[in-house]
Amino acid sequence: MRVKPADRTESVQEYYFSQKLRQIDQMRRSGIDIISLGIGSPDMPPSENTIAKLALEASVTSSHGYQSYNGIPALRKAFADWYHKYFRVELDPENEILPLMGSKEGIMHISLAFVNPGDEVLVPDPGYPTYSSVTNLVGGKIRYYDLEEKNEWLPELEKLEGSGSINAKVMWINYPHMPTGAKAPAKFFEKLVAFALRHNILLVNDNPYSFILNKEYLSILEVDGARDIAIELNSLSKSHNMAGWRIGMVAGNPDYIRTILKVKSNMDSGMFRAMQVAAVAALENPQSWYDDVNTVYRKRREIVEEIMGILKCSFDKKQTGLFVWGRIPESIHDCESFVDGILNGARVFITPGFIFGKNGSRYIRISLCASETILLNAKTRISDYLSTK
């Protein structure tokens, strides 16, 4: 390479799943049939009305031009109505909601908007790896805070405050939590907001999993005082089976939203109008649509729990979300070798928990985003593989 890459590229590595999917693709091209239970990419389609709206709007000649940077008014209103209906939160669609091309994009926009080089950022361990990688890319200083099973995967705020001065600019939280599936009680959200107010930290709740095997819909913005110090990301990827569509949003105080828009407006030229119109239809899905999707996931979860049993992994049956998170047996010394053995021996890919942080090093994660037939096949393969060991 004749031109040296920017120094910031040295602070991050290729995303684990990018590497692993390439390996799986190579195995498949060599004739090996691999079942992938690693990624939470919903395999069911959006609602029929959502797809119909996309097709209809795409046939309108005027739909193909540039769109506004802050989304069409109908989409902002649909997000506001959705939040009012399910989260009991009143949002002004004009200046408290900003549609995004997926909430992952929002993590970068928020970090660019608020984190200066050297600013401290509180990141959960275990947690979504993008919080760390984006913080590194913008030059922030990561301070991990521990989440542990014994504390139901909630941060020990008193311990954090007692460990020394807190100079963080941003704190990432994610409830319902990925990868563990833990929920944060409403009372704990109140504690988080009070903590953020005491230390003047921007609290960002990444909230895409509320509708998967869960009916306790909670938003950090429901807490008194949260508008002064907190913003929330949400997404249609998991809740509406629209992962590839890349449609999300950030909500909160108008001043925060305007600051994020300064970044976003310099990075894209608006979302395809037909997708925005279709997203409105998705947000208008009746409760029965969510219930039907969860009926499917519930049946799949039963099979995945059986797989966890075969692997002798312990897990919390109260978990929510698109995955089952399980602790590997004490007899297993290395999680990565354990997972690679299953991949090579049973031809089933599951996710090792260490990619989410050191506190995930004794755990694995299995996705529910595969049909019952595929999951049963995976169960048989793993059982057969372990019986030969």
- The enclosing domain of 313 has a CATH number of 3.90.1150.10
**pLDDT at residue 388 in the model:** 87
pTM, full prediction: 0.95
User: How confident is residue 50, by pLDDT bands cut at 50, 70 and 90?
Assistant: very high
**Average confidence (pLDDT) over 46-54:** 98
Flag whether pLDDT at 389 surpasses 80. no
200 and 238 within one domain: yes
Same domain, 322 and 221: no
Nearest to 112 by CA among 264, 268, 271, 269: 264
The total of structural domains in the chain comes to 2
Q: How would residue 23 be classed by pLDDT, with cut points 50, 70 and 90?
A: confident
Both 304 and 207 in one domain: the answer is no
- What's the mean pLDDT in 339-359? 95
Beta-strand relationship, 168-173 and 141-146:
unpaired
2 in a domain, yes or no? no
Residues of the domain holding 334: 7-45+288-387
Quote the DSSP letter at residue 167. Answer: -
Answer yes or no: do 195 and 344 share one domain: no
Instruction: Please indicate, yes or no, if residue 58 is contained in any of the structural domains.
Output: yes
- Same domain for 19 and 153? no
Helices 273-283 + 48-58 axis angle, to 10? 160
Q: What is the CATH number of the domain that holds 257?
A: 3.40.640.10
Asked if 75 and 35 sit in the same domain, the reply is: no
Do 299 and 273 have their domain in common?
no
Same domain, 226 and 280: yes
Residue 90: inside a domain, yes or no?
yes
- pLDDT one-digit tens code per residue, 303-336: 999 999 999 999 999 999 999 999 999 999 999 9
Instruction: Give the DSSP H/E element, type plus range, for residue 374.
Output: helix 372-387
**231-275: per-residue pLDDT in tens?**
999 999 999 999 999 999 999 999 999 999 999 999 999 999 999
In a domain, 154, yes or no: yes
224 belongs to a structural domain: yes
Which residue, 248, 263, 284, sits at the end of a domain? Answer: 284
Q: What is the pLDDT of residue 20?
A: 79
Could you say which of 253, 284, 315 is where a domain stops? 284
For residues 178 and 292, state if they share a domain: no
- Position 260 in a domain: yes
Residue from 324, 309, 304 nearest 377 by CA: 304
Q: Which of 36, 24, 21 is nearest to 370 (CA)?
A: 36
What is the pLDDT at residue 114? 98
Among 284, 304, 319, which residue terminates a domain? 284
